[in-house]
Chains A and B, each alone.
Chain A
Amino acid sequence: MKKLTTLDSLSRMANTLRRDVVTMLAEAGSGHTAGPLGLADIAAAMYFNVLNIDPRRKNDPDRDRLFVSCGHTAPIWYAALARAGFFPVEELKTLRKLGSRLQGHIDRLTVPGVESTAASLGQGLSIAAGCAYAAAMDGKNYQTYCVVSDGEHDEGSTWEAVNFAGYYKLQHLTAIVDRNNIQIDGPTEKVMGKEPLRERYEAFGWHVIEIDGHNIEQIIDACQEARAIGEKPVCLIAHTIPGKGVDFMEGDYRWHGVAPGGLDTEKAPPKNKQLEAALRQLHY
């Protein structure tokens, strides 16, 4: 696959993915908006620069693996996969509709390029750890990435995976934590404490790098550093803004699971104008 190498082209791609996300969600009339918008820069950096993947060789045993543990963020990954050539962009508008390959939560069996199905939080990092373990057994050099949401750190199973990966020093494993500070019931620290997140990972034997999840250069550099470190799994704590790019959604947890056009807030335009307003702001 041809990579995008300039920061400008990658930012443009992130913006395209955001436009795809709001458009497909509005068309579906339901789904998750805040998380996916916040993950757009990471998705662009990963699928168009960092990952060693090729849609023409989807099953290449040496490809990098990117697992998504927070399955509700499906729209951004579907958009990235479509734009990367794994399936037609046209298909994005079938999201969540009867008969569509694009199921509400990320689905391996139907969507080309998806490494594993996810929806029940706190399972993806274990799957990625299993993948990294298999890579070590087989003497493979590919990198295994796993995108984990901050809300998922409430689950004990996430920490079982963190412990496992630290204990076995899974050096080709990189977790990318979407530290957007929201979950369904409110700001993360109000719902259940996750801090000190960095120290928690470090205590389990991980190397931690904190990055601005909207700075594509930092994302790419951190991934390179993670690959180079060796001997330990690496956690990139990516600080992101939920709803990034759409001012009436940014930082507001209420947009976690609502599509554009589905929520009245103090800041938002009338429901029937929300998609249009979002797209206007996402004009590059």
Chain B
Amino acid sequence: MLTKESHLKRNIFGKDIEMAPTRDGYGIGLVEVAEKNVNVVALSADLTESTRAAKFRDLYPDRFIQMGVAEQNMVTVAVGLALQGKIPFVSTYAVFSPGRTWDQIRISVCYNNANVKLAGHHAGLSVGPDGATHQALEDLALTRVLPRLTVLAPCDAEEARKATHAAAAIKGPVYLRFSREKSPVFTTAQTPFTVGKARVLHDGKDAVIIACGPLVYEALVAADRLVEKGISVRVINMASIKPMDEETVERAARECRAVVTAEEHQVAGGLGGAVAETLARSYPVPVEMVGMRDSFGESGQPEELWRKYRLNAAAMVDAVIKVIKRKH
């Protein structure tokens, strides 16, 4: 059963569900926060359209800075802006930032506690035909280990919009993770979003799927399919990777006693790693991880890649069945 308090759209499994990439939500959110706060500025490294900073550029040309293809400089220029009271949103692909800019992020942004908002785009395999080089599958690991950094991985375009607002409201560094490919927009303006809080979207007691990003929708599909098999699965949207809502994770482990994690990321160091760390400390139960297993992606259509690397609802169904067999 979908939970009432999550206020999801009606008929989320219908064929006519609205589709949009999470980066669209960022583009909308960025313009909305800019409207409210004149200190919001945006920086782009020659990827203005595809990171959805174009609308901001067109509406607020004086608050937009074109950096050229120079990500390291972009992040540190943003630090300088932030130290003077600006709220810089820095957008490029996640493979380049935090990929290439990690040192700048670690020292000049995080250690320095600069109010910089880092938008990492084209995360996950669903980047598709551009191939492994452009598919960020490590960015959560890179950012999750940094003190003072908040890490958010919204599940759909609407939540991406809210996460962008939340990032602007936080005083301190934030990393936001977005996808290129369209995915179902199944949350609504009423769906709650709080940094540090996980949301139970689907009730269940036999196992729990904890997911982030576009795989949250796949988790709901998996839970729905498993109902037919008589298996009751809880689904948790873990958009706030850091801080992580450990209480909700622990409660789910106690009540369901079997956990599946799902992410478009390496299982090492990402959401799966974070959940396993939490459970090892609090309430160890069997965990199965849906995600990349120490391999790079490749060129292909997003759906084909999800199938090949087992990042979809079918993979989660299998993982749930497997983890239930491992229950103590």
Mark A residues whose CB is within 8 Å of B: 28-31, 71, 96-100, 102-105, 107, 117, 119-122, 151-152, 154-156, 183-185, 191-192
Contact yes or no, A98 B300, CB < 8 A: yes
B-side contacts of A185, CB under 8 Å: 44, 46-49, 66
Residues of A within 8 A of B286 (CB): none
Please state if A156 and B49 are interface contacts (CB–CB under 8 Å). Answer: no
Q: How far is the CA of A120 from the CA of B132 in the complex (A)?
A: 11
Chain B CB within 10 Å, residue with most, of A102, A103, A104, A107 = A104
Bound state CA distance, A54 and B88, in angstroms? Answer: 51
User: Who on chain B is nearest to A190 by CB?
Assistant: B66
- Does any Cβ of A come within 8 Å of B298's Cβ? yes
Q: Is the CB of A120 within 8 A of B133?
A: yes
Chain A: interface secondary structure?
Answer: loop
Nearest 4 Cβ contacts at the A-B interface? A192-B68, A119-B133, A98-B300, A154-B68
Q: Determine whether the beta carbon of B70 is less than 8 Å from that of A154.
A: yes
Closest A residue to B71 using CB positions: A155
Contact yes or no, A98 B67, CB < 8 A? no
- Mark the stretch among B13-21, B95-103, B152-160 that contacts chain A: B95-103
A100 to B134 CA separation, bound complex (whole angstroms): 17
Near A by CB (< 8 A), chain B positions 83-134 give: 95-96, 99-100, 128-134
Query: Considering only CB atoms, which chain A residue lies closest to B100 in the complex?
Result: A120
Q: Which residue of the partner chain B has the closest CB to A104? A: B131
B304 within 8 A of A: yes
- Selected A-B contacts with CB under 8 Å, 28 pairs: A30-B129, A71-B133, A96-B299, A96-B300, A98-B300, A98-B301, A98-B305, A100-B299, A102-B299, A103-B131, A103-B133, A103-B299, A105-B133, A105-B134, A120-B100, A152-B69, A154-B46, A154-B69, A155-B69, A156-B70, A183-B46, A183-B68, A184-B50, A185-B49, A191-B66, A192-B68, A192-B69, A192-B70
Band of interface residues on B:
20 to 34
Interface residues of B: mostly helix, strand, loop or mixed?
A: loop
Q: Which residue of A lies closest to B48 (CB)?
A: A185
A155, B71: Cα distance in complex, Å = 8
A97 to B128, CA, bound (A): 9
Q: Which residues of A lie under 8 Å from residue B179 when comparing CB positions?
A: none
A183 to chain B, nearest CB (A): 5
Q: Which of A29, A103, A120, A122 makes the CB contact (< 8 A) with B95?
A: A120
Chain B residues near A105 (CB-CB < 8 A)? 130-131, 133-134
Contact A120 to B308, CB < 8 A, known contacts A97-B299, A99-B300, A185-B48: no
A28 to B69, CA, bound (A): 26
Q: Does B3 lie at the interface of the complex (its beta carbon under 8 Å from any beta carbon of A)?
A: no
Tell me if A96 and B131 are in contact (CB < 8 A). Answer: yes
